[in-house]
Structure 1
Amino acid sequence: MKRISQLSMLIILFVLLYFLLPFSKEPPARESMIFFPLDPNVTFTKAHTRLVLEPKKKNNEYVLRWHTTSSLDRKVYLRQDISLIFADGRLLGTLSKWKENSQTLLQEKTVTEKNSRLFQAISFHYGEIHDGEDIRSSQKMSGDYLYVIDSAYSPLMSFRQAKTTEQKKWENVLKQTTRQFLDYKTKQLANHFSIREKNYYYLYLPELMVYNEQPFPDLSMEKTQKIIGSLWEGLYKNYFLGIKKKNGTIVSPIGSTMPVIFISKDYTYLIVLFETRDGEQIQLIQQIS
Structure 2
Amino acid sequence: MKRLLSICIFLLSFVIIIQALKRPAHEAIMFFPIDPTVRFTTAETKLSLQPKKKETRYVVDWIVTSSLDRTAYLRQDVSLLFANGRLVATQTKWKKNRKSLIQQKQLKQKGSRLFQAISYHQGELHNGNDIRSSQKMSGDVLYVIDSSFAPLQSFRKPTTAEQKTWANTLNKQTQTIVNKTANQMGNILPADDYYHLYLPELVQYNEQPFMDLTTNETEMMIGNLWEGLYKNYFLGIKKQNGSIESPIGSTVPLILIKKDYSKLFVVTETADRELVILKQLLEFTQ
TM, length-normalised to structure 2: 0.89
Give the match's secondary structure for 1:180: helix
- Which residue is equivalent to 2:108? 112
Cα pair distance change 1:32/1:190, threshold 3 Å: farther
Structure scoring higher RCO (CA < 8 A, sep ≥ 6) equals 2
Distance in 2 (CA, whole Å) between partners of 1:137 and 1:154 is: 47
| 8 Å Cα contact 1:61-1:113 kept in structure 2 | yes
> Which of 82, 93, 97 is equivalent to 1:86?
82
Structure-2 separation of matches of 1:190 and 1:99: 41
Aligned length: 259
- The 1-side partners of 2:184 and 2:262 are apart by 24
The amino acid across from 1:281 in the alignment is L
Match of 1:133 in 2: 129
Question: Is residue 80–residue 91 contact of structure 2 (8 Å, CA) maintained in 1?
Answer: yes
Decide whether aligned partners of structure 1 residues 202 and 129 sit closer, same or farther in structure 2, where only a CA change above 3 A counts: same
TM-superposed deviation, 1:30: 4.6
Aligned to 2:34: 38
Residue 218 of structure 2 is matched in structure 1 by 224
1:35-82: CA deviation from partner (whole Å, max 9, x where unpaired): 100000110000000000000001110000000000000001000000
Aligned-partner SS, 2:174: helix
Q: Quick check: which one's helix share is greater? A: 1
1:157 alignment partner, one of 114, 137, 153: 153
DSSP 3-state at the match of 2:240: coil
Give the strand-richer structure, 1 or 2. Answer: 2
Matched, 1:47 2:49: no
Q: Does 1:184 align with 2:180?
A: yes
1:57 to 47, 53, 60: 53
Shift of 1:180: 2.5
Aligned residues of 1:31 and 1:237 also touching (Cα < 8 A): no
- Which amino acid counterpart does residue 227 of structure 1 have in structure 2? M
Q: Deviations over 1:188-230 (max 9, x none)?
A: 2442xx1111100000000000000001012111101110000
SS at match of 1:188: helix
1:287 aligns with 2:284: no
Q: Distance in 2 between matches of 1:177 and 1:94?
A: 22
Shift of 1:185: 2.7
> For each residue in 1:11-53, what CA deviation from the matched residue of structure 2 results, as whole angstroms up to 9, or x when unmatched?
xxxxxxxxxxxxxxxxxx9542111000001100000000000
SS in 2 for 1:156: strand
CA RMSD of aligned residues (A): 1.1
- Asked whether the 8 Å contact 1:35–1:137 carries over to 2, the reply is yes
User: For 2:26 and 2:277, how far apart are their aligned partners in 1?
Assistant: 23
The answer to whether residue 260 in structure 2 is matched with residue 266 in structure 1 is yes
Q: 1:206 aligns with which of 200, 215, 220?
A: 200
Q: TM-score, normalised by structure 1?
A: 0.88
Query: Which residue of 220, 245, 257 corresponds with 2:251?
Result: 257
Larger-gyration structure (1/2):
1
Distance 2:181 2:38 in 1: 39
- Specify the alignment match of 1:17 in structure 2: none
Deviations 1:89-111 (A, max 9, x none): 00000000010000000000001
Whole-angstrom distance in 1 between the partners of 2:36 and 2:179: 37
Distance in structure 1 (CA, Å) of the matches to 2:186 and 2:40: 36
Select which of 221, 227, 236 maps to 1:242.
236
Take 1:254 and 1:242, find their aligned partners in 2: how far apart are those partners?
9
Measure how far apart 1:239 and its partner are. Answer: 0.1
